[in-house]
Amino acid sequence: MSSPQTFKIASIPGDGIGTEITEAAIQVLDKLASVDGSFGLEYTHFDWSSKAYLERGWYMPPDGMEQLQKHDAIYFGAVGWPDVPDHISLWSLILPIRKTMNQYVNVRPTRILPGTQSPLSSCQSNPGTLDWIIIRENSEGEYAGQGGTTHENSPHTIATELAIFSRVGIERIMRFAFETARSRERKKLTMVTKSNAQRHGMVLWDKIFYEVAAEYPDVEWDKMLVDAMTVRMVNNPASMDTIVATNLHADILSDLAAALSGSIGIAPSSNLDPTRKHPSMFEPIHGSAPDIAGKGVANPVGAFWSAAEMIRWLGEGRLNAGTFRFKSSSV
């Protein structure tokens, strides 16, 4: 057995229920460490929140990324608050962290946990039929952050959003997706695209998918258009296992997945830098939920599951540094 090791965790509770669920998750993590005995956890708490922003004018100090870089992992609650426009809060905190820390993979498992009930009548007698892991491209695509506005405040304003897809960006996410699919029992990957309407970036996405697929003859795959994918998720959940999609498509599909599994409050999300040069970040997929914040009623399961994924990632790193295998949890 390797000697006990202490992991440094940067904790960013953020806004709304983010603070409540982070507090709960840290209690669970500490208990886990003391029961397990093979690792310890040390936290730095960062008050990078919308509340702080409204008081002092910034979310993260200029050396924020350097501070984060000193940690083994980042634990994130939620960001977003009604008094701050969302595109300011998100582009001041969560999105720059994902990008700067090279967290190019976002892993989003969903399944129907005991005690929850799927809104789909087909799943209610057989919850095992919904067990997905969505691999989201997390560094480029529709979230590249480019685009702009011309003729502002005129009758002729034009604004653009530029989605950027690079060969390196697509190749690495496809490989990660195939590795994940291969590590799971069913060895099955569904690739999502919209290459019928979007004929540049999405056509490159398809092309590289086929190339990488050839390296994984043991993984069965199929291909869906993103619109038809929602239909299949509703009508035939058991037909899918691992799913790979672009930044925006997977953002949408992972919320749908969580809803179909019975609760948006239980789904975790791991923002991974598979090269392990930067800390990875773990957060529940739900938001700050201003409507229930402060009432002590937030569901902490998404936060617990995210914490579990963090420990798994750190543990795998210790045993197996440099690999990007990521097994689905069995929480």
Tell whether residue 90 is a contact of ligand IPM (CB under 6 A): yes
How far is the C-alpha of 104 from the C-alpha of 163, rounded, in Å? 15
Minimum Å distance from CB 116 to ligand IPM?
A: 20
- 236: tokens are 């035939």
Q: How far is the CB of 259 from a copy of itself (least distance, A)?
A: 4
Decide if 303 contacts 284 (C-beta within 8 A): yes
Instruction: Determine if 197 is a binding residue for ligand IPM (CB under 6 A).
Output: yes
Q: Minimum CB separation from ligand IPM for residue 294, in Å?
A: 20
Instruction: Round to whole Å and give the CA distance between 251 and 178.
Output: 19
| Residue 277 contacts which entry, ligand IPM, a copy of itself, none (Cβ below 5-8 A, type-dependent) | none
Q: Does 196 bind ligand IPM (CB under 6 A)?
A: yes
**Minimum distance, C-beta of residue 193 to ligand IPM, in the bound complex (Å):** 12
Q: Is 174 exposed, middle or buried (0-12, 13-18, 19+ CB in 10 A)?
A: buried
- Pull the structure tokens for residue 74: 């980042």
Q: In the window 266-305, what residues touch ligand IPM (CB under 6 A)?
A: 285
Near ligand IPM by CB under 6 A, which window of 24-32, 90-98, 126-134, 257-265?
A: 90-98
The partner in contact with residue 258, picked from a copy of itself, ligand IPM, none with C-beta cut-offs of 5 to 8 angstroms by kind, is a copy of itself
Per rule CB under 6 A, is residue 227 in the interface with ligand IPM? yes
181 vs 306, which CB is nearer to a copy of itself?
306
Closest Cα partner for 221 from 141, 135, 140?
135
289 binds, among ligand IPM, a copy of itself, none (CB under 5 to 8 A by kind): none
101, 279 Cβ separation under 8 angstroms: yes
Active site residues per annotation: 143, 194, 227, 251, 255
Residue 323 interacts with which of ligand IPM, a copy of itself, none, CB < 5 to 8 Å by class = none
Say which entry of a copy of itself, ligand IPM, none residue 126 contacts (CB below 5 to 8 A, set by partner kind).
Answer: none
Tell me how far apart the terminal alpha carbons of the chain are, to the nearest angstrom: 23
Calculate the CA 47 to chain-centre distance.
Answer: 21
Virtual torsion, Cα 192, 198, 201, 204, nearest 10 deg: 70
Q: Give which of 107, 127, 108 is closest to 116, Cα–Cα.
A: 127
Written as six digits, the tokens of 17 are 């229920």
The distance of closest approach from Cβ of residue 308 to a copy of itself in the complex, given in angstroms and rounded to an integer, is 23
- Give the interface with a copy of itself as residue ranges (CB under 8 A): 80, 85-87, 89-91, 95, 119-122, 124, 142-143, 145, 147-149, 154-168, 194-204, 225-228, 230-231, 234-235, 248, 251-252, 254-256, 258-260, 264, 287
Q: In this complex, which beta carbon is closest to a copy of itself, that of residue 3 or of residue 153?
A: 153
What sign does the dihedral 261-263-266-269 (CA atoms) show?
A: positive
Sheet of 268-272, strands arranged across: 39-45, 5-14, 73-78, 280-284, 268-272, 105-111, 131-137, 242-245, 188-193, 220-225
Among 24-32, 89-97, 166-174, 309-317, which window interacts with ligand IPM (CB under 6 A)? 89-97
Given the rule CB under 6 A, which residues bind ligand IPM?
90, 94-95, 196-197, 227, 251, 285
